[in-house]
Amino acid sequence: MVKLNKIYTRTGDEGTSGLVDGARVSKASARMTAIGDVDEANSALGLAIAHLGDHPLAPSLLRIQNEMFDLGADIATPVTDNADPEWALRIVPDQVARLEREIDAMNEPLGPLTSFILPGGSQGVAALHLARAIVRRAERAIVALTAEERINPPALTYLNRLSDHLFVSARSVAAGEEGDVLWRPGATRES
């Protein structure tokens, strides 16, 4: 499917990048910003996996990393009326539904939230929160892209659900450790 004989091609030296359909776009375009943010989110997932080690959640996150590459390919393939749907790699509703099932399963044993959660705790929990925040940025970038071009709707839904998944993942890991780090509104206003 992918074969890279050479890492540098010099085709982007003028500030453009190639899409799946062969079109070239500015590296500063909304589409390339979205692709870059998805790539950064995927890298943050890799960091979280590294911090989690052999935690039972790691295989699920590794599968999600693979889907993030699928998402990048989806965003790098413009949606057109005459495109062959079998040709394009697209995020599908079943992938979103699986994230929802995993969220529900992880959330069931957790207590209800009584405060907002600070994005900290152990290295694994903090890395999951960082990945969640970067996924939210990728989601905003895709929303901005939709103001200019069509995208595959499940791609945006997938990122929205993934940020929820990572939030509940962080809570689930924290529950097995010291628990959530809760926000205490105004706690430092008095000396």
pLDDT of residue 10: 66
pLDDT of residue 88: 77
Residues 76-114: pLDDT tens digits? 988 877 655 666 788 999 999 999 999 999 999 998 888
pLDDT of residue 134: 98
3-state SS string for the chain: CCCCCCCCCCCCCCCEEECCCCCEEECCCHHHHHHHHHHHHHHHHHHHHHHHCCCCCHHHHHHHHHHHHHHHHHHCCCCCCCCCCCCCCCCCHHHHHHHHHHHHHHHCCCCCCCCCECCCCCHHHHHHHHHHHHHHHHHHHHHHHHCCCCCCHHHHHHHHHHHHHHHHHHHHHHHCCCCCCECCCCCCCCC
Question: What global pTM score does this model have?
Answer: 0.88
pLDDT of residue 4: 57
Instruction: Of 135, 142, 9, 132, give the one whose Cα is nearest residue 79.
Output: 142
State phi, psi for 182 to the nearest 5 degrees: -90, 145
- Rounded CA gap, 141 and 2, in Å? 26
pLDDT of residue 8: 61
Cβ–Cβ contacts within 10 Å for residue 129, how many?
A: 24
Tokens 């499917």 locate to: 1
pLDDT of residue 53: 93
Residues 20-34: pLDDT tens digits? 666 777 666 888 899
- Rounded CA gap, 139 and 15, in Å? 24
Segment-wise mean pLDDT, segments of 10 residues, the chain, 191 residues: 62 65 73 94 97 95 96 89 70 96 96 89 95 97 95 96 97 92 84 64
pLDDT of residue 5: 63
